Structure 1
Amino acid sequence: MNDTAKTVAFDRRMLEALVCPRTQATLEYDAEAQELISKAGNLAFPIRNGIPGMLVDEARALE
């Protein structure tokens, strides 16, 4: 990975303030997939450049 392709780290302290927009449930951080997981909502929210995309329309449905 070159310097221009570095990924910005997600600040885990954000988990204390963020909840699932659909269910208001707490989220879990999946560092490998760079996603915030809502088990209650069956959704995975992407993290891009250290910023979580918290729109339901952008979330990936979990199997």
Structure 2
Amino acid sequence: MSFDPQNLQDIIACPKTKTKLICDGDFLVSVDPATRLKYPIKDGIPVMLIDEATEVPQQEWADIMQRHNRHPETGELVS
């Protein structure tokens, strides 16, 4: 069974910060602006290990947040 981000969007969270994750391509990206972590999705399965996460550069993270209708500085959902 592969990962379906739409079905788990409300229950999956960053294992380090416990903040919401959004699916962006082959990664799950934390909405936490302090850590800006992204977790890979390999063969359809998210790798939710903190040691496997990488920090997203500030501008790239802001661009991801904007693509997902989130504030580029806070990660908060824009209404």
For Structure 1 versus Structure 2, the TM-score category normalised by the shorter chain is: 0.7 to 0.9
The normalised TM-score by structure 2 is 0.60
User: By how many angstroms is 1:15 displaced?
Assistant: 2.0
The corresponding residue for 1:62 is: 56
Q: How well do the aligned residues superpose, as a CA RMSD in angstroms?
A: 1.7
The corresponding residue for 1:38 is: 30
Structure 1 gaps of 5+ residues are 1-7
The normalised TM-score by structure 1 is 0.74
Q: Distance in 1 between matches of 2:12 and 2:31?
A: 14
State the structure with bigger RCO (CA 8 A, min sep 6), 1 or 2.
1
Counterpart among 38, 41, 55 of residue 47 in structure 1: 41
Runs of 4+ in structure 1 over 2 Å off: none
The corresponding residue for 1:11 is: 4
- Partner SS for 1:57: helix
Identity %: 37
1:28 and 2:25 aligned: no
Q: 1 or 2, which has the higher strand percentage?
A: 1
Q: Distance in 2 between matches of 1:16 and 1:50?
A: 18
